[in-house]
Amino acid sequence: MKKVYGSAAEALEGLLFDGMFIAAGGFGLCGIPELLLDAIKDAGTKDLTFASNNAGVDDFGIGILLQTRQVRKMISSYVGENAEFMRQYLSGELELEFNPQGTLAERMRSGGCGIPGFYTKTGVGTVIADGKEHKDFPTGPDGAMETYIMETGLFADVSIVKAWKADATGNLIFRKTARNFNPPAAMCGKVCIAEVEEIVPTGSMDPDHIHLPGIYVHRLIQGEHEKRIEQRTTRAA
pLDDT tens sequence across 178-232: 999 999 999 999 999 999 999 999 999 999 999 999 999 999 999 999 877 777 8
Whole-angstrom Cα distance, residue 3 to residue 185? Answer: 18
Looking at the structure, give the CATH architecture of the domain made up of residues 8-102+154-222. 3-Layer(aba) Sandwich (3.40)
> In this model, does residue 64 exceed pLDDT 90?
yes
Per-residue DSSP letter, 154: P
Region label for 206, one of left (φ > 0), alpha (ψ between -120 and 50) or beta (otherwise): beta
Q: How far apart are CA 47 and CA 230, in angstroms?
A: 27
Q: Is 37 helix (H, G, I), strand (E, B) or coil?
A: helix
pTM for the model stands at 0.94
Cα gap 233→36, rounded to integer Å: 29
pLDDT tens-digit map of 81-118: 789 999 999 999 999 999 999 999 999 999 999 999 99
Task: Tell me the pairing of strands 21-24 and 48-51.
Answer: parallel
Distance between CA atoms of 209 and 103, rounded to whole angstroms?
A: 26
Confidence label for 74 from pLDDT (cuts 50, 70 and 90): very high
116-151: pLDDT as tens digits: 999 999 999 999 999 999 999 998 888 899 999 999
Instruction: Provide, rounded to the nearest whole percent, the portion of the chain with pLDDT above 90.
Output: 87
